Amino acid sequence: MLIRNILAAAPSLCALIGVRTASSSFITMASDPKKLSQLQLPQRSHLKLPKDVVKEKEVLVFGDIHGCFDELQELLHKRKYSPSTHVVLSVGDMVNKGPKSLDVLNWFYENRENGVYTVRGNHDDSMLVTLDKLKEGGNDDIVKPSYSYINDITTEVHNWATRLPYTIEIGDLLIVHAGIVPKLDMDQQTPFDMTRMRFVTDTPEGKYEPLQRFAEGAVQWATTWPGPQLIVFGHDAKQGLQEEPFALGLDTGCCYGKRLTCAVFESTNIIGKPKEDWYRLVHVKAHAVYEEPGTKPPKGSEPTEAETNPNSCPIL
Ligand SMILES: [Mn+2]
C-alpha cells in the first residue's frame, strides 16, 4: 500500500520540482520557492474508479460549465437525472466567466458521494490559488470582481476542491480537462499538459510537445491520441465540439452564449463491451451571453509565466 501511495504521489512530485525525465523540454527546476506555495497539488493526481461505480447506470459527462448553473440543471433535468440511475462526470472549469460559479461548486460538493465527480481545470486551479492567497492573509484586493464568489466558498468546499484529481479513469473512459500527451506515461503528464494544452508538435525524438496556443506545424492533440481509451476533455471553446476516434472534446462555449453539452454513455460502453457508438450528445442552449469570446480576462486572472511555460514549473 505504501508503494502504491508513493507511486500515486509521483506525478505531483514530478510537477512540483518541474522535472519530466522522459522529455528534454521539461528539465527546469523551480528556483523560486514562493512559486511552490501558489497551488496545492492534489495528493492523488489520477483517480481510478472501480467499474462498479457505473454498473447499470447512465453516465453523463459534462463539458466546461463555467458557472452556468441553470443550464447544468436544465440538462440534468432533460436526462431525468437521479443519483440512483446516473453517474455524473465533469471535465472541469466549473467556475468563472458564467454567473453562478458558487452554485456549480456547491452542487458538485454536495453530491460528491452520490456518484458525481469532477477533474480540475485551469480556472478551478486559479480559484484555488486565490483562495490560498486569502487564507495566507492576503486582503480582499486580490479578489477581482469576477472572482467575488470566492468570498462565499466554505472551508469544506475549499478543502474538497484542493483534493480534486487531474484525471478520472473508469474502464475505457478517461476524463481530463485539457488533454493527455500521447506517447508519454501518465506519471509523466504535468499539470500544464492536463489543464492547458490544446495542440502538440512533433519533437525530434519522435514524441509530442504540448502547446497551449497554435504554432506552426502544430495539430490538435486529440487528433494524435491513438486510444484504446476514449479521452473526454474540454478547455477549447474556440474549437467547440471535437469528435475524434478516441477523443471527445465537449467545450461548446456555454459561457459565450452557445451551448452546454453532455455526452451520454451506457455503462456497457465503458466497461468492456463492443463500442459501435460510444456515446450520444445532448445539448442545451445557453440562457445568455455571459462573456464575449476573446474577452481578456480581468487583470490578475491570467496564468502566470510559470503556469503557461512548459519549460518552467507549471501551475506552481
Ligand atoms: Mn479551461
Q: How remote is the CA of residue 49 from the centroid of ligand 1, in Å? A: 23
The values of phi and psi at residue 266, to 5°, are: -75, 145
**Is residue 189 in a domain?**
yes
pTM comes to 0.82
pLDDT of 295: 61
Contact in structure between 14 and 188 (CB atoms under 8 Å): yes
Contact in structure between 252 and 63 (CB atoms under 8 Å): yes
**Is residue 243 in a domain?**
yes
Contact in structure between 165 and 44 (CB atoms under 8 Å): yes
Strand (E) positions, the chain?
46-48, 58-62, 86-90, 116-118, 167-170, 173-176, 199-202, 208-211, 219-220, 230-233, 242-244, 247-249, 259-266, 280-285
**Is residue 247 in a domain?**
yes
Give me 283's grid cell: 445539448
Contact in structure between 86 and 54 (CB atoms under 8 Å): no
C-beta neighbour count of 191 within 10 angstroms: 27
**Is residue 314 in a domain?**
no
> What CATH number is associated with residue 190?
3.60.21.10
Q: How remote is the CA of residue 120 from the centroid of ligand 1, in Å? A: 9
Q: How remote is the CA of residue 252 from the centroid of ligand 1, in Å? A: 12
**Is residue 291 in a domain?**
yes
What is the number of structural domains in the chain? 1
C-beta neighbour count of 52 within 10 angstroms: 11
pLDDT of 16: 38
Judged on CB neighbours under 10 Å (0-12, 13-18, 19+), 65 is buried
Q: What does each C-alpha distance from 276 to 80, 270, 279 come to in angstroms?
A: 25, 12, 9
**Is residue 111 in a domain?**
yes
Give me 240's grid cell: 467547440
**Is residue 313 in a domain?**
no
Give me 103's grid cell: 452554485
pLDDT of 270: 85
All residue ranges of the chain with pLDDT < 50 are: 1-37, 298-316
Q: How remote is the CA of residue 16 from the centroid of ligand 1, in Å? A: 21
Q: How remote is the CA of residue 15 from the centroid of ligand 1, in Å? A: 19
Report the distance separating Cα 280 and Cα 264, nearest Å. 5
Q: How remote is the CA of residue 1 from the centroid of ligand 1, in Å? A: 34
pLDDT of 269: 83
Q: How remote is the CA of residue 95 from the centroid of ligand 1, in Å? A: 10
Residue 183 is classified by DSSP as T
**Is residue 80 in a domain?**
yes
Classify residue 54 as left (phi > 0), alpha (psi -120 to 50) or beta.
Answer: alpha
Please provide the distance, in angstroms rounded to a whole number, between the alpha carbons at the two ends of the chain: 28
Residue numbers of the domain that contains 134: 2-308
pLDDT of 40: 73
Q: Which residue type, as a one-letter code, is found at position 14?
A: C
